Homo-oligomer: A and B are copies of this chain.
Amino acid sequence: MITYDLDRRAPHQPKYEYLYRCIRRDVRTGALPAGTRLPSRRTLAAHLTTSVSTVEHAYELLVSEGYVVARAGSGFYVAPNRSQGVFEGTGDGLGRDDDPASADAPGDAGGKHVAAGSPGPGRAAGAAAGGHAFAGEPDHIDFRANWCSMDLFPAETWARIMRKTLSDRNEALFRTVPFNGLAELRRAIAAYLYEFKGMRCSPDRIVVGAGTEYLYGRLLQLFGPGTIIAIGDPGYKKLAQVSRHAGILWNYVPLDGEGLSTGFLRQNPADVVHASPANAFPTGIVMSAARRHELLDWLHADPSRFLIEDDYDSELRFAGHALPSLFTQDDSDRVIYLNTFSKTLVPSLRISYMVLPETLMDLYRSQMSFYSCTVSSFEQLALAEFISQGHFERHINRLTRYYRRQRAAMVDALAASDLARIATFQVPDVGTHLIASVRTRMSDETVKRAARRRSMNLAMLSDYYVRPVARDVHRIVINFASIGPDQLDLAVGLLADVFRDDIDRASRAGA
């Protein structure tokens, strides 16, 4: 049985931590190969003459980091793929079970911008999304991951700016930060919105916060209990959870090809509507001009109504022209504009912002300004500099070029694959995913299980619906963000394998 001398731990080092490190080391070095069954907590505790809770803590840590897998009933096992040291320093957060990405609608967590992970083989989703750790490894294809390779992030520039910020602007770290964010950043955002989206807004109307969810939380609290918000179905379901915590009621509004059903809105109560006209999540539906006008008519029909425009993905446009934002189309100053940098820059950089109508800003100031800004000055200043110097624009252009290639490659690969015999593909102009409508006899659950057996991380459009979806409609949400050239053929091949029977059947029928 594994044996460690707990007395050899550092002074003050908790036993559980020492034990954790010992086992982790042996897993990494391969001394404990993948699949090895670890002794039970009691047995090991007795063997090391320590408390069960010590072993418990150590095992908890190892499990939480994916070094060890707990199998209900049968105990603890060294996880697969943990014994090549590839995880050195990356031992955490790779889609762990307590990870929002797997706890919630996949690809939906982190303000829709976090790669989904799943326990077991899929646990490397995060890393795959990172675009490197598992690049090329067949068993970590992630069709859900919602961000690009880290290679695209201008780390050098970012590092330089942060260095500069810390040396030149040290004093800024000690300033009282306005509740809505530092003026430098709000000015940079206002200028960006004006230049690239033709949006005219005073920096004083902007509220900077640590992520989209945080801002939604505050905003909904501002509307107050009893307010009814209309959320798209399919859509950003997490908003319903945030609403519950804020005592807000919600309605799910069906979408058709033109966007949110205004017919439904006319027949059902709602004070606030949540919309992503540029790119409805996850269908990629762009709201038609007619529908936008109908939606604004709904807004103007009652002076107490508000509209939230979540523009989360609009920077990534590959074809066509963007319609002006509802924020600019509306002249009643009752559209709240919301966007984030987590998707376009780095998922773990928690910086989002909203532009509030004047009336709401006054209310926010009186009700919410006692909450300190949740983003550290340091990153606010760095981002302000990053935007003002034009790095953000360049980065977006680089991203768009990169994704356009990846998108084209994915479309070609799919069209050329066997899958094309039983599937049609909808490719939105905006965002990093496309929809494959597949003719299969399998249920969506069966499809996902089959994919998981091939260690693919797959989401079906039905996952994002609240209302039941017709049982004979099967649409896969294919996010190509993390599927690099080296993974492409493999990914599409494995995807086709999932539907092998359907494809063969179709071929026979065709033959």
CA distance A211 to B12 in the complex (A): 28
| A372 in contact (CB, < 8 A) | yes
B131 touching A174 by the CB < 8 A rule? yes
Partner of A14, one of B114, B180, B194, B214: B194
B93 touching A204 by the CB < 8 A rule? no
| A52 in contact (CB, < 8 A) | no
Give the shortest distance, in Å, between A56 (CB) and chain B (any CB): 8
B150 touching A159 by the CB < 8 A rule? no
Partner of A177, one of B93, B131, B203: B93
Binds B, one of A160-168, A399-407, A464-472, A502-510: A160-168
In the complex, residue of chain B having the shortest beta-carbon distance to the beta carbon of A345: B173
> Which of A184, A187, A217, A350: most chain B Cβ within 10 A?
A350
CA distance A162 to B217 in the complex (A): 30
CA distance A95 to B174 in the complex (A): 12
B346 touching A375 by the CB < 8 A rule? no
Give the shortest distance, in Å, between A403 (CB) and chain B (any CB): 16
In the complex, residue of chain B having the shortest beta-carbon distance to the beta carbon of A21: B187
| A347 in contact (CB, < 8 A) | yes
With contacts A61-B203, A92-B184, A180-B98 taken as known, whether A350 is within 8 angstroms of B374 at the C-beta atoms is yes
CA distance A132 to B173 in the complex (A): 13
* Contact mask for chain A residues 137-166; partner B; CB cutoff 8 A; 1 contact, 0 none: 000000000010010010100110011001
| A37 in contact (CB, < 8 A) | no
Partner of A348, one of B16, B94, B174: B174
8 Å CB interface, A1-51 against B: 12-14, 16-17
A60 touching B202 by the CB < 8 A rule? yes
Give the shortest distance, in Å, between A359 (CB) and chain B (any CB): 16
> Please, which residues of chain B bring their CB within 8 A of the CB of A169?
89
Give the shortest distance, in Å, between A52 (CB) and chain B (any CB): 13
| A398 in contact (CB, < 8 A) | no
Q: Which residues of A contact B (CB under 8 A)?
A: 12-14, 16-17, 57, 60-61, 64-65, 89-96, 98-101, 103-104, 109-111, 114-115, 117, 125-127, 129-133, 147, 150, 153, 155, 158-159, 162-163, 166-180, 182-184, 187, 190-191, 194-195, 200, 202-204, 210-211, 213-214, 217, 221, 225, 238, 241, 245, 247, 346-351, 365, 369-379
In the complex, residue of chain B having the shortest beta-carbon distance to the beta carbon of A372: B110
A377 touching B365 by the CB < 8 A rule? no
B150 touching A173 by the CB < 8 A rule? yes
Give the shortest distance, in Å, between A9 (CB) and chain B (any CB): 11
- Can you show 20 pairs from A to B with CB atoms below 8 A apart? A17-B190, A57-B202, A90-B172, A98-B178, A98-B180, A99-B179, A110-B177, A126-B174, A127-B171, A129-B176, A130-B171, A130-B175, A147-B174, A150-B171, A177-B348, A214-B214, A225-B247, A241-B370, A348-B378, A349-B377
> Please, which residues of chain B bring their CB within 8 A of the CB of A95?
176
In the complex, residue of chain B having the shortest beta-carbon distance to the beta carbon of A346: B173
In the complex, residue of chain B having the shortest beta-carbon distance to the beta carbon of A349: B376
Q: Which 8 A-B pairs have the closest CB atoms?
A: A126-B176, A348-B377, A130-B174, A210-B374, A92-B183, A110-B372, A104-B370, A93-B175
> Please, which residues of chain B bring their CB within 8 A of the CB of A241?
370
**What is the total number of copies of this protein in its complex?**
2
> Please, which residues of chain B bring their CB within 8 A of the CB of A129?
174, 176
In the complex, residue of chain B having the shortest beta-carbon distance to the beta carbon of A61: B203
> Which of A109, A169, A365, A371: most chain B Cβ within 10 A?
A371
> Please, which residues of chain B bring their CB within 8 A of the CB of A187?
17, 61
Extra inter-chain contacts (16) besides given A16-B202, A103-B179, CB under 8 Å:
A17-B190, A17-B191, A92-B178, A103-B365, A115-B176, A126-B176, A130-B171, A155-B167, A163-B163, A174-B346, A174-B348, A210-B375, A221-B245, A348-B376, A349-B376, A350-B376
Give the shortest distance, in Å, between A380 (CB) and chain B (any CB): 8
> Please, which residues of chain B bring their CB within 8 A of the CB of A347?
173-174, 176-177
Give the shortest distance, in Å, between A41 (CB) and chain B (any CB): 14
Partner of A369, one of B103, B126, B173: B103
CA distance A369 to B93 in the complex (A): 13
> Which of A14, A64, A376: most chain B Cβ within 10 A?
A376
In the complex, residue of chain B having the shortest beta-carbon distance to the beta carbon of A165: B159
Give the shortest distance, in Å, between A387 (CB) and chain B (any CB): 13
Give the shortest distance, in Å, between A143 (CB) and chain B (any CB): 16
B183 touching A100 by the CB < 8 A rule? no
> Please, which residues of chain B bring their CB within 8 A of the CB of A109?
370, 372
